[in-house]
Amino acid sequence: MQKNIAFSEKALELQAIARKIADEVVRPGAAHADKHSEYNMKAARAVADAGLFRAWIPEAYGGLDAGVLALALVAEELAKADSGFGVAYAVNALGSFPILLGGTDEQKQKWMPKIAAGETFVAFCLSEKFAGSDASGLGVRAVRDGDHYVINGEKKWTTNGGVADVYSVFAVTDPSSKSRRISAFIVEKGTPGFTIEKVEDKMGIRGVPVVETHFKDVRVPVENLIGGREGMGFKHAMMTLDHARPGVAAQAVGASQGALDLANAYANRRVQFKVPISQHQMVQQMLADMAMKTEAARQLTYASAAAIDAEGPSPANSKMAAMAKCFASDVAMEVATDAVQVFGGYGFMEDYPIAKFFRDAKILQIYEGTNQIQRIVIARHLIRESNDLEHLQEFIPTEEQQSYNAPSMNPEG
């Protein structure tokens, strides 16, 4: 299905601002944030002051209404300088989408202007130790008690945990239901019983915290039930992921481009056999393949984001989002690997940022739905779409023909 990509002036303006911040603030602080596992608050403040957190938020709630495509453009530029900070930026969209897509107008009016202004950071609490790809298998419980819900349990892999002021939390409200089992809640930092426990020691994206969030008799007001209705949590989660996956794809495109740029610059400086290694055909092939795949990932990512902006949630756009996330993150891992190879021995050393690009790339294939899950999503949509291919039936063997042409299982036949 062809998707038209229309870049608004506002989106392109935000992209240019993001590129400037990436060069002047994000990249200079990337090595320190990675080495010390520190959140780059200076960069976050620069992003907030420039209005980049307003990109995906409607004007009615203090945003710029530039859409998911603008979010992707900004995330790409930031990730090009530091993949970890690209995550730190985009996870605010991930955390806010449940409120934006499923919340009541009162909830949006209360929370979205603060998120848009960069005064409030957000996190997304879905995964658990025994419920990752299978989001329907959550174990954290929320029980109604008068004017509150009481939440108990623990969440795993909460990105931005500790930094975030607000958490979109998914919990079981009706264990007996299959389709309406889960509800979503807004939980504020500092709520009694809500604590940040283990801070993960990660391979990559070390500049953004990933933590365990624990809930022990956490009392949340009924008005913090997202959408005001129980049982809508799974729907909100799936809508959120469909909207957020182009942002992950954009992080991957930025990571690919950042690694490619470094490899290209190094290949034109490194001299072996009396010429820059960029003059050797083997290296040229690697650089060409890296560039082609990065550009293909970019166009798929932009098309996916533009489709969501134009049409909103739909089965076709869910498939496109999965395709963009899966393809772009696979490309990011491949390009980072080849970039390390171009750098040779220097690529294996932590003295240079190419090693960080390699370490950061791996998580892109895992979070917000592993790439194996994305392929399942894509395949299921394709199978459903086969109903629209009736015009091809005359070119496909019938069951009778298949049976007739099947090889005989009789050893004497």
> Across the chain, what does the average pLDDT equal?
94
* Same domain (yes/no): 206, 136: yes
399 is catalytic: no
User: Rounded to an integer, what distance in angstroms lies between the CA atom of residue 181 and that of residue 186?
Assistant: 17
- Residue 250: beta bridge partners? none
- Section 343-362 average pLDDT: 95
Q: Is residue 351 part of a domain?
A: yes
User: What domain range includes position 176?
Assistant: 123-230
Q: Quote the DSSP letter at residue 200.
A: P
Provide the CATH number for the domain around residue 94.
Answer: 1.10.540.10
* Predicted local distance difference test score (pLDDT) of residue 406: 57
Which of these, 351, 251, 339, 349, lies nearest to 31 by C-alpha position?
351
pLDDT band at 402; cut points 50, 70, 90: confident
pLDDT band at 387; cut points 50, 70, 90: confident
* Same domain (yes/no): 337, 318: yes
- Section 73-83 average pLDDT: 98
Instruction: Note the pTM of the prediction, 2 decimals.
Output: 0.92
* Same domain (yes/no): 80, 158: no
Q: Is residue 412 part of a domain?
A: no
Yes or no: say if 76 and 33 are a contact pair by the CB < 8 Å rule: no
User: Rounded to an integer, what distance in angstroms lies between the CA atom of residue 250 and that of residue 78?
Assistant: 10
pLDDT band at 397; cut points 50, 70, 90: confident
- How would DSSP label each residue in 193-248? TEEEEEEP--SS-TTS-EEEEEEEEEEEEGGGBGGG-TT-HHHHHHHHHHHHHHHH
* Same domain (yes/no): 65, 128: no
* Predicted local distance difference test score (pLDDT) of residue 413: 46
- Considering 189, 215, 230, which residue would you say is the last residue of a domain? 230
pLDDT band at 2; cut points 50, 70, 90: low
* Same domain (yes/no): 239, 368: yes
* Same domain (yes/no): 154, 259: no
- Considering 230, 258, 290, which residue would you say is the last residue of a domain? 230
Length, in residues, of the chain: 413
Tell me: pLDDT of 1 over 60: no
* Same domain (yes/no): 305, 223: no
* Same domain (yes/no): 146, 198: yes
Extract the tokens encoding 187.
Answer: 């939980």
C-alpha radius of gyration, the chain, whole number: 23
Tell me: pLDDT of 411 over 60: no
- pLDDT tens-place string over residues 285-339: 999 999 999 999 999 999 999 999 999 889 999 999 999 999 999 999 999 999 9
Provide the CATH number for the domain around residue 129.
Answer: 2.40.110.10
Tell me: pLDDT of 179 over 90: no
Tell me: pLDDT of 409 over 70: no
Q: Is residue 408 part of a domain?
A: no
9, 368, 394, 399: the catalytic one is 368
* Same domain (yes/no): 135, 222: yes
Q: Is residue 318 part of a domain?
A: yes
pLDDT band at 389; cut points 50, 70, 90: confident
Provide the CATH number for the domain around residue 276.
Answer: 1.20.140.10
Which of these, 170, 209, 214, lies nearest to 195 by C-alpha position?
214
- Considering 186, 203, 230, which residue would you say is the last residue of a domain? 230
Q: Is residue 3 part of a domain?
A: no
Give the 3-state secondary structure of 283-311: HHHHHHHHHHHHHHHHHHHHHHHHHHHHH
Percent of the chain topping pLDDT 90: 88
* Same domain (yes/no): 255, 368: yes
Q: Is residue 404 part of a domain?
A: no
* Same domain (yes/no): 263, 381: yes
* Same domain (yes/no): 226, 322: no
Q: Is residue 407 part of a domain?
A: no
Q: Is residue 403 part of a domain?
A: no
Domain count, the chain: 3
